[in-house]
Amino acid sequence: MTGPAGAPRGDRVAEAMRAVPRTGFLREHERRRAAEDQPLPIGRGQTSSQPSTVARMLRELDPPRGARVLDVGSGSGWTTALLAHLVGEDGVVVGVELEPELAVWGGANVEATGQPWATVELARPGVLGVPDGGPYDRILVSAEAQELPAALVAQLAVGGRMVIPVRGEMLTVDRRGPAPDDVAVRRHGAYRFVPLR
């Protein structure tokens, strides 16, 4: 039996996707398309990522309850709200978004889910992520980098994990020790994303 995006029932990510439906994070005229396994426009040239890709990334990230999570490129706020559901009220989710209009709209969408342990911030000029809020147990990045950003590895706790698309490939990055290059990287094949700017 399958749930949203073909996910097996009983897994935490499928449950989160049922509890926090994509519909509440789409523009009104796109809502009838919420069930399509496609990226959908959210304005400012950005997209709500394909649900099966979101599910894959969240499964790979595997945020435990109570974790402190950074969501880079929070856009509509959907991933931020899904992460909030996964970590529960003892956790913290910091969404960060570069486009001011999306940061406001996405933040309101997250607020409407009644999970006050998740918030959205506007990215500060020239600053990647939210260094002041770190270190994070998990970092999700929904925009494609050209190389693994050292600034985000630096915000990852030792033992923490980041899922990020780099040059068209999805990577899982586990930080093993305090040295910035002490990471283990696994690759999961080709994915397309809007660019990380």
Is 128 a binder of ligand SAM (CB under 6 A)? yes
Residue 49 binds ligand SAM (CB under 6 A): yes
- Choose, by CB under 6 A, the member of 61, 92, 98, 173 that binds ligand SAM: 98
The region of 44-52, 130-138, 159-167, 176-184 touching ligand SAM under the rule CB under 6 A is 44-52
Under rule CB under 6 A, residue 75 binds ligand SAM: yes
Q: Identify which range of 58-66, 94-102, 166-174, 175-183 contacts ligand SAM by CB under 6 A.
A: 94-102
SS3 27: coil
Strand partners for 193: none
Shortest distance in whole angstroms from residue 79 CB to ligand SAM: 4
Q: Rank residues 108 and 184 by Cβ distance to ligand SAM and give the closer one.
A: 108
Q: What are phi and psi of 67, to 5 degrees?
A: -75, 160
Q: Which own/partner pairs from 120-126 qualify as long-range (CB within 8 Å, at least 24 positions apart)?
A: 120/74, 120/77, 120/80, 120/95, 120/96, 121/94, 121/95, 121/96, 121/97, 122/96, 122/97, 122/98, 123/96, 123/97, 123/98
Should residue 136 be labelled a site residue for ligand SAM when binding is judged by CB under 6 A?
Answer: no
49 is annotated as an active-site residue: yes
Binding-site member from 18, 32, 187, 197 for ligand SAM (CB under 6 A):
197
CB of 176 to ligand SAM, least distance (A): 25
Nearer Cβ to ligand SAM, position 76 or 113? Answer: 76
Helices (H), 124-172: 150-153
* Burial of 26 per CB tally in 10 Å (0-12, 13-18, 19+): buried
Cβ-proximal residues to 176 (8 Å cutoff; 6+ apart), any chain: 158, 159, 182, 183, 184
Single residue of 30, 47, 61, 130 touching ligand SAM by CB under 6 A = 47
**C-alpha–C-alpha distance, residues 80 and 115, integer Å:** 10
* Catalytic machinery residues: 49
- Which positions lie near ligand SAM, rule CB under 6 A? 42, 46-49, 72-76, 78-79, 96-99, 102, 123, 128, 142-143, 193-194, 196-197
